[in-house]
Amino acid sequence: MDGGEVLPWEIRDGRGGQDRDLPEDPAMLVDLRRCIGCHACSIACKTEHAVPLGTFRMRVRWLPRPDRPTIAFVPLFDGSLCDFGVNRRSYGMQPACVDACPTHALTFGDADDPEAEVARLTRDHDAKPLNAPEANLKDGVLYIGAEEWQHKAIHKGCELDRRDEDIIYEQR
Ligand code: SF4
């Protein structure tokens, strides 16, 4: 790599990346208190990786709350497809979803490094993985602010769910 601008298709093709200090124990922290459900992360991911329609490496689920007539937003990372943006990281960049998020709801780093922000936030906020073994979620994703009902509501993980399509929040 010559230090010039790196374009998405170059990253996608794996051209020009260099070996760097990649995290020993990669972790993604999702702060649900910050997520506004804008889908910028999933669109960035799909664009960067040329993900076909109907398939998601990561996806933001909109879940109707059981306690009041509003929506909760839960970004999910697929256990088979998401690689935490390994090609971008070989360029010294953050995963596309992290860079795209306007509210800093996503933090990526080395969970083994006590100085890393991802480790500090995990400690300070007691972040935990979602408890949904049937949802094929990626290991190493921790959540701040996950509520008990949300664990049960994401059983389909990143797959499209017809029930989601009924939710058009802005029109209600
Ligand atoms: S980009 Fe950030 S705020 Fe928007 S849906 Fe994704 S995690 Fe939430």
pLDDT in tens, 109-167: 999 999 999 999 999 999 999 999 889 999 999 999 999 999 888 888 888 766 665 55
User: Ligand 1, atom 1: nearest CA belongs to which residue?
Assistant: 101
Instruction: Express each pLDDT in 39-77 by its tens digit.
Output: 999 999 998 888 888 889 999 998 889 999 888 999 999
Instruction: Express each pLDDT in 73-123 by its tens digit.
Output: 999 999 999 999 988 888 888 999 999 999 999 999 999 999 999 999 999
Look up the CATH number of domain 26-171.
3.30.70.20
CA gap 70, 72 in Å, rounded? 7
Query: Which of 73, 104, 142 to probe ligand 1 with, by most ligand atoms within 8 A of CB?
Result: 73
CB < 8 Å & 24+ apart, contacts of 137-140 = 137/76, 137/77, 137/78, 137/79, 138/28, 138/77, 138/78, 138/79, 138/82, 138/84, 139/79, 140/25, 140/26, 140/27, 140/28, 140/84, 140/111
The domain ranges of the chain are 26-171
Tokens for 106? 């996503």
Query: Which of 101, 104, 158 to probe ligand 1 with, by most ligand atoms within 8 A of CB?
Result: 101
User: Ligand 1, atom 2: nearest CA belongs to which residue?
Assistant: 101
pTM for the model: 0.87
Pocket of ligand 1 (CB under 6 A): 35-41, 60, 73, 75, 100-101, 103, 105-106
